[in-house]
Amino acid sequence: MTTAGAQRERRAPGGKLSNPQRVELYYYMLLARECDDAILRLYRQGKIVGGAYTGSGNEATAVGSAYALEKCDYLFPMHRDLGAHLVRGQTLRNIFLQQLARAGSLTGGRDGTGHYADPALRIYGNVSHLGAMVPMAAGAALAATLRKERAVVMTYIGDGGSSVGEVHEGLNMAAVMRLPLVLIVENNQFAYSTPIARQFAAQRLSDRAAGYGIPGVTIDGTNVTLVYETCWKAVERARSGEGPTLIESVTMRMQGHSASDDASYVPKQMLEDWKKKDPIARCAKILLADRLLTEESLLTMNEEVRARVEEAAAYAVEAPYPDAGDAGEGVYAP
């Protein structure tokens, strides 16, 4: 598989995926899951400190959405969107250097989570106050419009974060100004420990789109092909000057809010029901049925992914920490 380099143009006529692209989507989801599993192992070994966040169950949403973008577009991912980073061409070594807060990381060791930017890939990573990402993304969309770029900006918010006032302000501005913004609401059933029934009274979060005068759609976020096709249409709409789209992707957070959260508040039967909708297993079953993969090629792919992730993690573990004397560098503008 040739999936680790800089993102190439992937868009197909009509947004329809070729068979090699369908396999590549599966590969990226597999890669994201293996990275998350390695991050959890490193956290439990005491090699990652602070927070460790995973996107288990969210791979189809992260991968399928980012796959709909072109190289010229901007991505503002959240902490459960590791798959989107990979699709954009982020290297595994960079991911683990960042998680382990090493000197060679994109933040120079000043952060150990997803709070980083990589302008070369047009990735602008999440801030802790997640609702603030939407006005930031709207601002990037306005800047792109003023510069007469053909770029689209894609960002994400969780079900809990979608109720924050900054989300309303940013989305309203984008709608009024018809900015090229795509907002994906990751409805993964819980905002930390608060279930969605206690967060909002609307039947669907996408129903809020009508109040902004923009399209809103709710989709099965475990179906990577559906995610891609829906996002492709929204990206096309934004690029043609028709403004934002709100996409509610319904998934399940299969682990706690972070590695320190045992998710004991989640009903066990609920987790069991969602396990049957695992996006990776679901995609593999379809690819096998369509004879795009065999059991042997699946096994080979799994081994390749595991080896790549282990190599990158081992490299980062051995990499040096930043020098203590550099702690004040890059904190304030000159």
- Give residue-wise pLDDT tens across range 220-239: 999 999 999 999 999 999 99
What CATH number should be reported for the domain holding residue 85? 3.40.50.970
- Give residue-wise pLDDT tens across range 241-288: 999 999 999 999 999 899 889 999 999 999 999 999 999 999 999 999
Q: Is residue 10 part of a domain?
A: no
- Give residue-wise pLDDT tens across range 122-176: 999 888 889 999 999 999 999 999 999 999 999 999 999 999 999 999 999 999 9
d(CA 271, CA 177): 41
Q: Is residue 61 part of a domain?
A: yes
d(CA 263, CA 332): 38
Residue 6 has pLDDT above 70, yes or no: no
Q: Is residue 328 part of a domain?
A: no
Q: Is residue 224 part of a domain?
A: yes
Range of 39's domain? Answer: 17-322
- In this structure, are strands 190-191 and 194-195 parallel, antiparallel, or unpaired? antiparallel
Tokens of 77: 């991912």
Q: Is residue 58 part of a domain?
A: yes
Q: Is residue 9 part of a domain?
A: no
Q: Is residue 216 part of a domain?
A: yes
Is residue 245 within 8 A of residue 216, CB to CB? The reply is yes
The catalytic residue positions are 253, 257, 265
List of E strands, 65-133: 74-76, 117-118, 123-124
- If one counts the domains in the chain, the total is 1
Q: Is residue 4 part of a domain?
A: no
